[in-house]
Chain A
């Protein structure tokens, strides 16, 4: 069983619709540690030692956040800046995270067709996420295809439920090592055709 650390970074989680539901779906799962970053460090005073211990204790890191200006919310950036220390996370001595995996779980206001060449946002999600991907690759980690929830504005209740359930399924499969990681790393998105990547639980095949 893989241990999963879900870092939720949303400055107004109480007003969010999607991230709150997704966080709830993650929290239900056994073996998942939910870490609400804005709740833990409202003053941006990230406890580096504590965060590094959390990272060491888990196999998969999930960064769950809304897509702010094609990037992470500021506290998550602060977290990246401070926690991924040279000599610990990267550099010739920095091997603490080698072999672990990272998954971005992102909600966007723009609809799916906006994130493509020639679309409103001109780039695909994977292209826009290149700096994040490279950050963790530099730390020796495997970066999976992002789990994307597009068109967050004006999404209906049932749709949100469906996305949250899919998110839960993905995390559960990752936890139980039933997800095809090789394929998951190559894809443009994890949520698109998710169930094709998941093997049924042992005993049910």
Chain B
């Protein structure tokens, strides 16, 4: 792929994405399915715009998964992973173990050699990190119990890939005479080492990542940030991920796992957000590309050749995985809604299967025909995942889950209120409780079914659904509502909600939560007056306490904070208006610093504003004191 060819490819892939994803989103199918369909459309079996080179693109695009895990690592501090240890080991271990056993059993029943059956079982037990996490994120379900459990299992699977890679050669049907393939393994540093030495090298590599993350990257990033060149920072961030991925590949560890680790080390770094915002677009593009390639690589020739076999395998695989997952849901006592979400998310084969199957073929564990069939099956189950999750959302949950209790569908809201609260997390719940304590019943929209259940038990009117959806807002009575409290947990979702409401329900007064100053600017830009920065009040109160502990009198500190708040709220609004002209030529990071600079100077500009002249005896002393 070079020169004009590259641009031709880019043209096709980008066109496919730009055309199909908005359509898929519009239809409520989610972006993953959109990408997959785009891939099918341009693939060799539909329009035929991309041919064999689709496989190259797939390998390239797998890097998107690596980037995604790096970003997930950034979000996860080691302490949080430690808290997740039970689901990771328990849920993840059991999922991989039991699913392997069940699938291997099916393999044996289909007359496979036990070694082949075991290999196929363990390979197909893995799920697709890319599709699951992307879909959960898009639906805003990552924070729910089901989302967290899915994540834990996926994490375990990523770790499990290492021992699986070690296991596969032992299962060789060639009877000890392993056909050592030339490519790839030769380039690994651990090729000729014994087991314990290999372990040592892996541990050493991990140690290198941890130490470098702790002591080397911080000063390096600081130096780069000081240059003020945004693209240099982006380059450094990409370099970091690629270097980590290379290192891990060299020592025989999955690059995704390695970069996940690197991300975790950097989770507490001051440059976390900077890294996130720099890597994120690449991740998004590459993941999209990855999904397109999956779509394009589905071998429809094979499917058309033996449709019963492939579709049969696909159904068997999904049903078997679903059954095991549902048993786990019972064992771990998850609520029905979250359990269904968890089970339906993970019931597919994963991208690791592609790598592991080709590995297995090389070691003569699985024969090439079977591998081809399985690859087609896995690709189909991956493509089916977004559909399965939709099925769960629209058909299964309404029938068996929370939504059905009380005899209503997800989207039907029978009681119409004058106030709508979107998002009943830590923020929205306080708003709702205050209103309720004063006799105002609000329509609450929330997307965490466990929470919805609990609140309903407590007698609140809470409804389940994605508050950004226009049909749900309509059903909630947004057209007649007086107030809408936008209190969703993530800034993007909340902004999306505000924009939607502004556009379709201009008569509603919006009261918006803003995660930070940046979010406040965005919401102010939408023309919303009532914007509340969630950290402003508590940090001001802390500041007051600090002043008091330093010896300021309580009322003076309190008044100082009141004045400061008024001043700051005004400054935010002024800056929001001004920064339009400047964002044109300033990077976001630069912009933040400039904003802060302006704020700090503004704080000093008018000392008179910061005190109460009415209680100030200075001028009185001047006029009357001398006489």
Contact = CB atoms under 8 A, between A and B. Distances in A.
B623 A91 contact: yes
Interface stretch (A81-89, A98-106, A126-134, A149-157): A81-89
A43 interface: yes
A84 B614 contact: yes
Contacts of B615: 81-82
Given A81-B615, A82-B614, A85-B613, A45 B623 contact: no
A92 interface: yes
A48 interface: yes
Interface in A158-176: none
Interface residues of A, number: 13
Contacts of B619: 86-87, 91
B562 interface: yes
Nearest to B615: A81
Contacts of A85: 613-614
Interface string A90-131: 011000000000000000000000000000000000000000
Given A43-B562, A45-B562, A45-B566, A82 B623 contact: no
Q: Is the interface of A mostly helix, strand, loop or mixed?
A: loop
B620 interface: yes
Contacts of B613: 48, 82, 85-86
Interface string A42-86: 010101100000000000000000000000000000000111111
Contacts of A81: 614-615
Q: Is the interface of B mostly helix, strand, loop or mixed?
A: helix
Nearest to A89: B614
B612 interface: yes
B566 A86 contact: no
Nearest to A45: B562
A48 B614 CA distance: 9
Interface string B595-622: 0000000000000000011110001100
A91 B627 CA distance: 14
B614 A83 contact: yes
Contact of A86 (B562, B563, B620): B620
Nearest to B559: A45
Nearest to A44: B562
Interface string B543-571: 00000000000000000001100100000
B453 to A, nearest CB: 37
A87 B622 CA distance: 11
Q: Which of A43, A45, A47, A92 has the most CB of B within 10 A?
A: A45
Nearest to B620: A86
B387 to A, nearest CB: 53
Nearest to B624: A91
A86 B624 CA distance: 11
Contact of A82 (B566, B612, B620): B612
Contacts of A84: 614
A48 B562 CA distance: 13
A144 B566 CA distance: 36
Nearest to A93: B623
Contacts of B620: 86, 91
B623 A92 contact: yes
Contacts of B623: 86-87, 91-92
Contacts of A87: 619, 623
Contacts of B562: 43, 45
A83 B562 CA distance: 16
Contacts of A45: 562-563, 566
A85 B615 CA distance: 9
A83 B613 CA distance: 9
B560 to A, nearest CB: 11
Interface in B420-456: none
Contacts of A91: 619-620, 623
A81 B559 CA distance: 14
A42 B559 CA distance: 14
A45 B615 CA distance: 14
Nearest to A83: B614
A72 to B, nearest CB: 15
A92 B622 CA distance: 11
A83 to B, nearest CB: 7
Nearest to B609: A49
B469 to A, nearest CB: 36
A48 B559 CA distance: 13
A136 to B, nearest CB: 15
Q: Which of B563, B613, B614, B623 has the most CB of A within 10 A?
A: B614
Q: Which of A48, A86, A91 has the most CB of B within 10 A?
A: A86
Contacts of B614: 48, 81-85
A92 B613 CA distance: 16
Interface string B157-181: 0000000000000000000000000
Contacts of B612: 48, 82
Contacts of A43: 562
A19 to B, nearest CB: 22
A85 B612 CA distance: 10
A61 B326 CA distance: 74
A50 to B, nearest CB: 11
A45 B567 CA distance: 12
Contacts of B563: 45
Nearest to A82: B614
B568 to A, nearest CB: 13
9 contacts: A48-B613, A81-B614, A81-B615, A82-B613, A85-B614, A86-B619, A86-B620, A87-B619, A87-B623
Interface of A: 43, 45, 47-48, 81-87, 91-92
Given A45-B566, A48-B612, A85-B613, 17 more contacts: A43-B562, A45-B562, A48-B614, A81-B615, A82-B614, A82-B615, A83-B614, A84-B614, A85-B614, A86-B613, A86-B620, A86-B623, A87-B619, A87-B623, A91-B619, A91-B623, A92-B623
Closest 10 CB pairs of A and B: A82-B614, A45-B562, A81-B614, A86-B619, A85-B613, A87-B619, A86-B620, A91-B623, A85-B614, A82-B612
